[in-house]
Amino acid sequence: MKVINQNIHIDGIDKKILRALMQDARTSVLEIARQVGISWSSHPPAFKET
């Protein structure tokens, strides 16, 4: 595995999403969007749900 040092900015929304995933990583994307208070359509998927 190749590791690349990158500076990544994590904003408040990102932190809320990460907290929700840490509580239950099986939570649906739509449920996380609801919990965080964002519209799913405002943040298009960066990954594909399986």
Residue 47, in any domain of the structure: no
Q: Give pLDDT, residue 23.
A: 95
Q: Give pLDDT, residue 15.
A: 92
Residue 26, in any domain of the structure: yes
Residue 28, in any domain of the structure: yes
Of 1, 32, 35, which Cα lies nearest the Cα of 47?
Answer: 32
Residue by residue, pLDDT tens for the chain (50 residues) are 676 777 878 889 889 999 999 999 999 988 998 998 887 665 555 555 54
CA angle 36, 25, 17 (to 5 degrees): 25
Q: Give pLDDT, residue 41.
A: 67
Q: Give pLDDT, residue 42.
A: 55
Structural domain count of the chain: 1
pTM for the full model?
0.63
